[in-house]
Amino acid sequence: MNPEENLAKLGLALPAPGKPVAAYVPTVRTGSLVYVAGQLPFVEGKLPKTGRLGENVSIEEGQMFARQCVLNGLAVLKAEIGDLRKVKRVVRVGAFVACADTFADQPKVANGGSELLQQVFGEKGRHARAAVGTNALPLGAPVEIEFLFEVE
Amino acid sequence: MNPEENLAKLGLALPAPGKPVAAYVPTVRTGSLVYVAGQLPFVEGKLPKTGRLGENVSIEEGQMFARQCVLNGLAVLKAEIGDLRKVKRVVRVGAFVACADTFADQPKVANGGSELLQQVFGEKGRHARAAVGTNALPLGAPVEIEFLFEVE
Amino acid sequence: MNPEENLAKLGLALPAPGKPVAAYVPTVRTGSLVYVAGQLPFVEGKLPKTGRLGENVSIEEGQMFARQCVLNGLAVLKAEIGDLRKVKRVVRVGAFVACADTFADQPKVANGGSELLQQVFGEKGRHARAAVGTNALPLGAPVEIEFLFEVE
C-alpha cells in the first residue's frame, strides 16, 4: 500500500510543502505522534477563493478546498517523516468551515478531506473527527483543517 | 468504582453507540489514548432541538445537550474499549457551543457535560477543557463535544 | 536555557496560576504530554477588555491578550510540572480569536502568543498551531488559547 501511488491513481500529486503564514511550524513530532498545523487550501501559495459556505462558496467548492487542505497537510507530513508509507494511522482531523450562521452542512464539506484520506491510506485513513462551523478563518479562507497522525 | 453503576445511580444509561454522520469513525485508539470524534446531542438518532444559545436555546437546555454529548461519547468509547472501568483519565474535552454573537456563557453550558464526567468517573473525570462559541454547528446542533481519554 | 529567566529579560513574570472558570482542571498530564485547558487573558482575575477583533479590539490589543493567555498557560503548566525547564517541546497551540465576520487576521493575533513562546523556549518553543476565528468566547473574551506540551 503506497499512499503516493494511491494519490497518483486519483490524478493527484503532493504540492511543495507550504510555509506557515505566521510564527509557528507546520509539523511537530512527539513520540509516535505528528501534529500538523491547521492547513488552509492554498494552491501554489494562493487561496483560490475566499468567503463562506452558505454564502458565496458552494458545498462542492468547500469539498474541493477540504481536499486541498489534506494535500497540503500530507505535503508537510511527508517533509517531516520522509515517506507517507510510515503513516500507521490518521488519528484525528479537526475541520473548521467558515460559514453563514444558518449553514448546517459542515460534515459534507469536511467529507471532501476525510474521503481523500481514506482513498490514500485505506483502513489506516479512518480517523476521528471534529467538524465545526466558524464565522471567520485566516485570510478569508473557507476551510481550515488540522491533523494528527500516528507514524512509525 | 464502576462508571456505569454511577450512571445508573444518576438515573442514566448509555445509549446504543451512534454512527458518525459522515466519512469518519467514532473512535481511534493510539497507544493508551482514545480520541472520540465530535459528538452531537442525538437522542435515538435525532437532535431534540436545533438552534443557538442566546437565541432559541436556553442555558439549561444547552447543559442537557452537553450531557447528552457525554453519554453519546461514553457509548462509543465503551464500544472501543469494552468496559468503562478501563478509563484511567478523562484527559481533554473540546466543547463547541453554537450561539449568538453576544453569548458569553459557554462555560456554563459545557459544565453540563464536565460535571457528568466527574460524577461518572470521580477524580479520574477531572479534565482539561477548551470551551468556545461558534456561529454554526453540524445539522443545526446547539452543542458539539469531542473527547480524549487515557485508558488501560 | 531557563525559560523564566527569558521571561524576566522580556520584563515579564508568571502570574499566580489561575483557577478554571468552571468544572474542569487547568492541566492534565498523560505520559510525557501535558494538556493545558483553554486560557483566557485574565490579568489578576479580570479580563482587561471584552469584545471582538475587527470591532472594538485592535490587532495590537489582540496580540497583547494572546501574550497574556500564554503567561497564564505557563503559570498553570509550572504548577503542574514544577519547573519550566522540564519543557521538552511546545507541541501544539490552539488559538481562538473572537472576531467580526469579515476579520481575516487571526494569525497576526495568535502570533502575539506564538512569538512569546519562542522567545521563552527558543527552538523548543516552535509549535504546530491552529488559529481560527469564532463569533463569541467565554465571558466575552477576545482570545482563548489552549496548549499541548511535551515534558520531561
* Number of residues that make up chain B: 152
Of B25, B134, B144, the CB nearest to A127: B25
Of C24, C31, C50, the CB nearest to B129: C24
Report the alpha-carbon distance of residue B132 to residue B53 in Å, rounded: 12
Task: Name the average pLDDT for chain C.
Answer: 95
Burial, B4: exposed, middle or buried (Cβ in 10 Å; 0-12, 13-18, 19+)?
Answer: middle
Residue C70 has pLDDT above 80, yes or no: yes
Helical spans, DSSP H, in A1-152: 3-9, 59-81, 106-121
Report the alpha-carbon distance of residue A82 to residue C102 in Å, rounded: 38
Coil, strand, or helix at residue B48? coil
Q: How far is CA B1 from CA A48, B7, B87, B113, B120, in A?
A: 54, 11, 11, 19, 9
Chain B residues whose C-beta is within 8 A of a chain C C-beta are 31-33, 89-93, 99-108, 110-111, 114-115, 118, 126-135, 148, 150
Coil, strand, or helix at residue B3? helix
Q: Which residues contact B120 (CB under 8 A, 6 or more apart)?
A: B3, B6, B7, B10, B70, B74, B84
Cβ atoms of C3 and C87 within 8 Å: the answer is yes
Chain A interface, mutation test: which of C101, C108, C120, C152, most A Cβ atoms within 10 Å?
C101
Instruction: Compute the average pLDDT of residues A22-36.
Output: 94
Q: Quote the pLDDT of residue A98.
A: 98
Burial, B19: exposed, middle or buried (Cβ in 10 Å; 0-12, 13-18, 19+)?
Answer: exposed
pLDDT in tens, A65-87: 999 999 999 999 999 999 999 99
Blockwise average pLDDT, block size 10, chain B, 152 residues = 89 87 90 97 95 98 97 96 96 98 98 96 95 98 98 97
Instruction: Assign 3-state DSSP to chain C and report helix, strand, coil percentages, each to 5.
Output: 35, 30, 35
Look up the pTM and report it: 0.96
Report the alpha-carbon distance of residue C77 to residue C94 in Å, rounded: 16
CA distance A130 to chain B (A): 5
Cβ atoms of C143 and C81 within 8 Å: the answer is no
Fold annotation for B3-19+28-151: 60s Ribosomal Protein L30; Chain: A; (3.30.1330)
pLDDT in tens, A101-134: 999 999 999 999 999 999 999 999 999 999 999 9
Q: A3-14+33-151 in CATH: which number?
A: 3.30.1330.40
Report the alpha-carbon distance of residue C113 to residue A19 in Å, rounded: 19
Chain A residues whose C-beta is within 8 A of a chain B C-beta are 31-33, 89-93, 99-108, 110-111, 114-115, 118, 126-135, 148, 150
| β partners of residue B44 | none
Assign C22 a pLDDT band (cuts: 50, 70, 90). confident
Domain boundaries, chain A: 3-14+33-151
CA distance A147 to chain B (A): 12
B-to-C residue pairs, Cβ atoms closer than 8 angstroms: 92
Task: Name the average pLDDT for chain B.
Answer: 95
Q: ipTM of this complex > 0.90?
A: yes
> How many other β-carbons are positioned within 10 Å of the β-carbon of residue A132?
26
Using a pLDDT cut of 70, give the percent of chain A over it: 99
Coil, strand, or helix at residue B23? coil
Cβ of C96 within 8 Å of Cβ of B127? The answer is no
CATH H-level, domain C3-16+32-151: superfamily: RutC-like (3.30.1330.40)
Cβ of B138 within 8 Å of Cβ of A105? The answer is yes
Cβ atoms of C122 and C74 within 8 Å: the answer is no
Touching subunits of B (3+ CB pairs, under 8 Å) are A, C
pLDDT in tens, A41-57: 999 999 999 999 999 99
Q: Quote the pLDDT of residue C13.
A: 87
Report the alpha-carbon distance of residue B130 to residue C19 in Å, rounded: 14
Q: Quote the pLDDT of residue C111.
A: 97
Q: How far is CA A123 from CA A88, C12, C17, in A?
A: 10, 49, 43
Q: Quote the pLDDT of residue C20.
A: 77
